[in-house]
Amino acid sequence: MSNRKIEIGRRSFLATGGALAAAQLLGGVATAQAAASTPANPATASGRRRLGTLEVSAIGMGVQNMSRTFHGTIPSRPEMIRIIRAAHDRGITFFDTAEVYGPHHCERILGEASQGFRDKIVIATKFGFNVDLETGRLNPGLISRPEHIKRAVEGSLRRLRTDRIDLLYQHRVDPTVPIEDVAGAVAQLRREGKVLHWGLSEMGLNTLRRAHAELPVAAVQNEYSMLWRGPDQSVLPVCRELGIGFVPFAPLAYGFMTGAIDADTTFAPKDYRAGTPRMSPENLPHNLALVELARSWAERKSATPGQVALAWLMAQAPWIVPIPGTTQMPHMLENVGAMAVRFTAAELDELNKAVRAIQIRGARMSPTVQAWSDVEAPPRRT
């Protein structure tokens, strides 16, 4: 990428002029400015939140790219394990993965890394993509037939080296299987003690209501960030109404909100972001106004743009738990530090108005990927 200078600047944050502030943040000590004000998001003060009845750390960790990054590189497995363990040492208790990540490899990495503290953390994984249960080959389409769900969970349990999954998501809605059938399969797994809570991701709102009526849903996982605010007007009101937690994936907009991407950035052809309209050459320069806003608030809060973006998400509701992912130790430490960033009620109102004033150009994702989102399950079988 052409933004190497910016990326190096972010990665050296803990080792240069920001080291003292970062040390304070990572130790859970707010800056003098934040400590002197009343936080608008008090639920993060204790570092714990609830997704339904499931208690987790205020920020989780996404274990998605630890087998292969957006750039196509394969990270060091021992280093990925070290990062997961370091995150746990710093208070992260919520780790999110899926059978399709790798496929299978990221579950194995998390399973190995969590040995020794498995009973002290919450593990979330997902089923729903057409992953061969034996080979891990990703085939076209989606699959949530009850018999397949049960076999998929058995595979996840083996790879995660555990006897139960704390939070099991349907990764995407299978348009051929009624959500009541999916809930029934999960309910059976709960009775067997293999699944403790369940959730959905990127589903239609009617499907969410039907699912929750059949078996209470602990969490919804959808994309949500300063760059993609679609949940504000759709799923978040339903989650608030039904008492369902919300887990934003891509809370840093695939690195956009960290300041590591500039107007001259180009992406490798296989990089997911290369086909994202909002990051296209014609739209990216305009959308960078959002990064500049985060950077200005970072100066006010003695933080980084990424920390401001994560803190903004947590401030939207006490039942929102972002799960930034990374393959870099300094990035993980920076993400953890976002839990110490506070906004007063007046500051949050000011920031929210400024965020809403910036109209994002370009669609959230390519039409091919968008086809998996907001799908409604078929009617219940009679």
The residues assigned a catalytic role are 101
**Nearest residue to 245 (alpha-carbon basis) of 56, 95, 62, 50:** 50
Question: What letter does residue 344 receive in the DSSP assignment?
Answer: -
How many alpha carbons lie under 13 Å from residue 201 in its C-beta half-sphere? 24
- β strands within 209-301, DSSP E: 219-223, 245-249
Q: What is the DSSP string of 38-56?
A: --S-GGGTTTEEEETTEEE
| Tokens found for residue 142 | 């989606």
Going 13 to 18 to 23 to 24, the CA torsion angle's sign is negative
* Amino acid, single-letter form, for residue 159: R
Give strand pairing partners of 142: 129
* Amino acid, single-letter form, for residue 184: G
Cα–Cα distance, 46 to 44 (Å, whole number):
5
Question: Using alpha carbons only, what angle is made at residue 119 by residues 116 and 123, rounded to the nearest 5 degrees?
Answer: 100
Cα–Cα distance, 130 to 273 (Å, whole number):
23
CA dihedral 73, 79, 80, 81 (to 10 degrees): 150
Tell me if 331 sits within 8 A of 86, measured CB to CB. no
Tell me if 325 sits within 8 A of 61, measured CB to CB. yes
**Nearest residue to 178 (alpha-carbon basis) of 138, 153, 154, 214:** 214
- β strands within 109-181, DSSP E: 122-127, 129-131, 138-142, 165-170
* Amino acid, single-letter form, for residue 320: I
Q: Please, which residues have CB within 8 angstroms of residue 23's CB and are 6 or more apart in sequence? A: none
